[in-house]
Chain A
Amino acid sequence: MLSTLRIAAMSAAIVAVAATSTTAFAQKKYDTGATDTEIKIGNIMPYSGPASAYGVIGKTEEAFFKMINDQGGINGRKVNFVTYDDAYSPPKAVEQVRKLVESDEVLLVFNPLGTPSNTAIQKYLNSKKIPQLFVATGATKWNDPKNFPWTMGWQPSYQSEAHIYAKWLLKEKPDAKVAILYQNDDFGKDYLKGTKDGFGAKASNIIMEESYEVSEPSIDGHIVKIKAANPDVLLIYTTPKFGAQTIKKTAELGWKPLQIITNVSISVGSVMQPAGFENAQNVLSAAYAKDGSDPQWANDAGMKKWNAFLDKYMPGVDKTDNGVVYGYGAAQTLAKVLEMCGDDLTRANVMKQAASLKDFAPDTLLPGVKINTSATDFAPIAQLQMQRFKGQKWELFGEIISGDVPTQ
């Protein structure tokens, strides 16, 4: 008798347990890489090799998630940020991403850097249906949800930024002769294309396209050559070092064209100051993020948080480095997406949430610049504002411009 009772009680208990666990199962959904206590995120960065200057982005993101974990994690789960070195080499990128996916079993790959590396891993990640989220490159091709529904960009695309410069010039200086100095790689060529597209029928305004190689120690010879063509406007599509060289050399030549410099090279501390503040007066550019070395943000609430984070988690870091601002903003965006995922940490839901960001404003973005995505818009940041260098800081002017370029 007793035994029957016991069995009945036990089976009732089992049913109860089973019932609760199924309800729990309905609420909590996980793919590989996520559990009740942990979310595993993969990342690749060039910590060594020619692009090692960008390694600081990965270090900032690692530190950011350490801060998140110290604050209790995301919905109670700790973030396990696994980051590997790809040395800016596509074959190495493939090897490391496969290691992240197949050996570390991450939920998603976040902010991998560089157009070549991302192109190399895009097909693999999409075929495995693993999010390739917020890639750290400004190529236009990341906004292509139809063909690559698992890949999403983050920063404004290079082409859309160049578009903005072209439109601005057409409006303000319709007859100016324009020369373009660009780096001979995917980055420079994207800007070149965006500028030409932006000028459209007036592309004849562009009287010179001069490219340089990263391996050149000094680009003085190119500047001399451009000056000989005597353009009114010089578009500088270069990385920071060459941007500073260009601004300095034009001043040394006693030449005063209207200069517009790419957003990549607008750091006050590591471009404008080395080039010489007196040489950089009236240089134009467009921005979407605040500059860590620009005094005008000293009392900004978002940048105060950023500063506090750096002081605690990355003491001694070079705050003039744009990579630190960049990594913080990108990591904050991911944290937001994971928070929105709630307990449904499947890869499909991560992409769904990433594509449902509405007016999200990370601490480091300019006032008014907001992140918006949808199922057909995989370009999170699409807004920029023009700015002019005055004294020792950038002065924003004009409206916030949206520069979405549709993917062909």
Chain B
Amino acid sequence: MSAAAEEVVTEAPAVEAVPKRAMTLGYGTSLVVLAALVIIPLLVKNFIIFQMTMLLIYGLAVLALNILTGGSGQFSLGQSAFYAVGAYTSAILMEHVGMNYALTLPIAGVICFGFGFLFGQPALRLSGVYLALATFALATAMPQLLKLGYFEHWTGGVQGLVVTKPDAPFGLPMSQDMWLYYFTLAITIAIYVASVNLLRSRSGRAFMAIRDNEIAASAMGVDVALYKTLAFGVSAGITGVAGGLGAIAVQFVAPDGYTIQLAISLFLGMVVGGVGWLPGSIVGSAFIIFVPNIAEGISKGLSGAVFGVLLFLVIFLVPHGARQVAIVAQQLAAKLKKN
């Protein structure tokens, strides 16, 4: 290996290894979080229920990115594109075809899975900044595709589509917001459990082997190409479901809602929550929903700057995101037990 002209690099993995057990929460903590998510909506105003619904929806989208980046080590700035495809799929099926909202979600998921899987093919040859640029290109192209004249009959072009919010079924005595929240919660839990199981399965181990060292993984017989595209597909599929739910919750889809801004937010959510730590997704989602509101509360004229400063504070204090907080808390708890 002494080719003189070539630079030889032992590349450090872009994403550090997270052992798979550290990717989830213990049973006790899970139950507490679950109980909070079930009970709180019964006590608060509708608009807070709406915010919590958005929290879960963005949480799902961050989780999807986490599977891709934290799981298989591939970086994406294009998640907003998959989110948009999911949202438009649901909106078009509901408004043009008249399909039930719940049925549109699996379809949105499947279409996005296919879309992600196909996009994963060229992405195979790219890594690091190059993959970042390719996904970034996808995110900037999506709003322009959505307003293209050829699809205008279906997408509503620049004007977008207004979506009808579903009522609670079986005459349940709850508001539309509350019903949609519990509906979203059920889907979120199902996808979360499935994701945890996926990462614990053979495929999950293959993802992580690729993340930690692609060449070693392929030497061990992991079909790198298959698993990398599969990770893209799964991630896009989950993002698509989140997008569909988002369209129903917001009651509106338009190209302006799915710009690169959204992809960047989701990325920030993943970093703040902790790359590769699935429960962190909800923390990251809370960050991208609530911190801009806090920043704006501090200063209207400088809300962008305040947001930036808060973001810097978070990454200075906990560069590994909420995962780091969880680890410290765990160690503290263990110490207390010993004493």
A→B interface (CB under 8 Å): 47-50, 52, 55, 58-59, 83-85, 87-92, 94-95, 98-99, 101-103, 114-116, 119-120, 122-124, 184-186, 189, 213, 215
Residue of B nearest to A91 (CB): B250
In angstroms, how far is the closest chain B Cβ from the Cβ of A211? 10
- Beta-carbon contact of B300 and A50 below 8 Å: no
- CB-CB < 8 A to A94: which residues of B? 50, 250-252
- CB-CB < 8 A to A50: which residues of B? 259, 261
Query: In the complex, A84→B297 CA distance in Å?
Result: 9
Q: Which of A48, A49, A119 contacts B254 (CB 8 A)?
A: A119
Interface segment, B32-40, B103-111, B156-164? B156-164
Query: In the complex, A129→B15 CA distance in Å?
Result: 51
A to B CB contacts below 8 Å, 25 in the list: A48-B296, A48-B303, A48-B304, A50-B259, A88-B256, A89-B259, A90-B160, A90-B256, A91-B250, A95-B51, A101-B47, A102-B46, A116-B160, A116-B254, A116-B257, A120-B250, A120-B254, A123-B162, A123-B251, A124-B251, A184-B147, A185-B147, A185-B255, A186-B158, A213-B144
- Beta-carbon contact of A103 and B47 below 8 Å: yes
Query: In the complex, A394→B45 CA distance in Å?
Result: 52
Identify the interface centre among B144, B159, B256, B292: most chain A CB within 10 Å of its CB. B256
Given A102-B46, A116-B257: A47 in contact with B250 (beta carbons within 8 A): no
> Which 3 pairs of residues, A with B, have the shortest CB-CB distance?
A102-B47, A120-B252, A98-B47
Query: In the complex, A59→B46 CA distance in Å?
Result: 29
Query: In the complex, A134→B14 CA distance in Å?
Result: 51
Query: Knowing that A83-B300, A213-B144 are A-B contacts, what are 5 other residue pairs whose CB atoms are under 8 Å apart, sorted by A's residue number?
Result: A85-B296, A90-B250, A94-B250, A98-B50, A120-B250
Query: In the complex, A101→B296 CA distance in Å?
Result: 18
User: How many residues of B sit at the interface, in one of the four size bands?
Assistant: 35 or more
B234 within 8 A of A: no
Residue of A nearest to B161 (CB): A119
Query: In the complex, A164→B251 CA distance in Å?
Result: 35
Q: Which of A49, A91, A184 contacts B158 (CB 8 A)?
A: A184
Q: Which of A58, A83, A90 contacts B252 (CB 8 A)?
A: A90
**B 135-152 binary contact with A (CB < 8 Å = 1; else 0):** 000001000100100000
Query: In the complex, A120→B87 CA distance in Å?
Result: 14
**B 196-221 binary contact with A (CB < 8 Å = 1; else 0):** 00000000000000000000000000
- CB-CB < 8 A to A213: which residues of B? 144
- Beta-carbon contact of B261 and A87 below 8 Å: yes
Interface of chain A, main secondary structure: helix
- Beta-carbon contact of B147 and A89 below 8 Å: no
In angstroms, how far is the closest chain A Cβ from the Cβ of B93? 19
B32-88 at interface with A (beta carbon < 8 Å) = 45-48, 50-51, 54
In angstroms, how far is the closest chain A Cβ from the Cβ of B43? 14
- CB-CB < 8 A to B261: which residues of A? 49-50, 87, 89
What total of A-B pairs shows CB separation below 8 Å?
Answer: 99
- CB-CB < 8 A to A124: which residues of B? 251
- CB-CB < 8 A to A189: which residues of B? 157-158
- Beta-carbon contact of A95 and B54 below 8 Å: yes
In angstroms, how far is the closest chain A Cβ from the Cβ of B252? 4
Query: In the complex, A268→B171 CA distance in Å?
Result: 60
Query: In the complex, A166→B94 CA distance in Å?
Result: 39
- Beta-carbon contact of B296 and A84 below 8 Å: yes
Query: In the complex, A115→B157 CA distance in Å?
Result: 13
- Beta-carbon contact of A89 and B50 below 8 Å: no
Q: Which of B51, B289, B293, B300 contacts A55 (CB 8 A)?
A: B300
Identify the interface centre among A58, A85, A91: most chain B CB within 10 Å of its CB. A91
Given A94-B252, A116-B160, A184-B147: A47 in contact with B51 (beta carbons within 8 A): no
In angstroms, how far is the closest chain B Cβ from the Cβ of A314? 11
Residue of B nearest to A56 (CB): B301
B246 within 8 A of A: yes
Query: In the complex, A47→B301 CA distance in Å?
Result: 7
- Beta-carbon contact of A85 and B292 below 8 Å: yes
Residue of B nearest to A185 (CB): B158
- CB-CB < 8 A to B293: which residues of A? 84
In angstroms, how far is the closest chain A Cβ from the Cβ of B172? 20
In angstroms, how far is the closest chain A Cβ from the Cβ of B286? 13
B113 within 8 A of A: no
Query: In the complex, A85→B301 CA distance in Å?
Result: 10
In angstroms, how far is the closest chain B Cβ from the Cβ of A290? 26
Query: In the complex, A47→B305 CA distance in Å?
Result: 11
**B 290-314 binary contact with A (CB < 8 Å = 1; else 0):** 0011001000110110010000000
In angstroms, how far is the closest chain B Cβ from the Cβ of A116? 4
In angstroms, how far is the closest chain B Cβ from the Cβ of A186? 4
Given A48-B303, A124-B251: A119 in contact with B47 (beta carbons within 8 A): no
In angstroms, how far is the closest chain A Cβ from the Cβ of B304? 5
Q: Which of B48, B50, B159, B300 contacts A186 (CB 8 A)?
A: B159
- Beta-carbon contact of B158 and A103 below 8 Å: no
In angstroms, how far is the closest chain A Cβ from the Cβ of B155? 13
Residue of B nearest to A188 (CB): B158
Identify the interface centre among B147, B158, B261, B304: most chain A CB within 10 Å of its CB. B158
Query: In the complex, A50→B292 CA distance in Å?
Result: 15
- CB-CB < 8 A to A88: which residues of B? 256
Query: In the complex, A124→B177 CA distance in Å?
Result: 12
- CB-CB < 8 A to B255: which residues of A? 185
In angstroms, how far is the closest chain A Cβ from the Cβ of B157? 7
- Beta-carbon contact of A59 and B140 below 8 Å: no
In angstroms, how far is the closest chain B Cβ from the Cβ of A310? 16
- CB-CB < 8 A to B254: which residues of A? 90, 116, 119-120
- CB-CB < 8 A to B259: which residues of A? 50, 89
Query: In the complex, A363→B162 CA distance in Å?
Result: 37
- Beta-carbon contact of A89 and B256 below 8 Å: yes
Query: In the complex, A180→B204 CA distance in Å?
Result: 54
Identify the interface centre among A49, A99, A119, A189: most chain B CB within 10 Å of its CB. A119
In angstroms, how far is the closest chain B Cβ from the Cβ of A53? 13
- CB-CB < 8 A to B289: which residues of A? 95
- Beta-carbon contact of A103 and B147 below 8 Å: no
- Beta-carbon contact of B303 and A47 below 8 Å: yes
In angstroms, how far is the closest chain A Cβ from the Cβ of B50? 6
Query: In the complex, A59→B302 CA distance in Å?
Result: 12
In angstroms, how far is the closest chain B Cβ from the Cβ of A51? 9
Q: Which of B158, B257, B304 contacts A89 (CB 8 A)?
A: B257
In angstroms, how far is the closest chain B Cβ from the Cβ of A1? 55
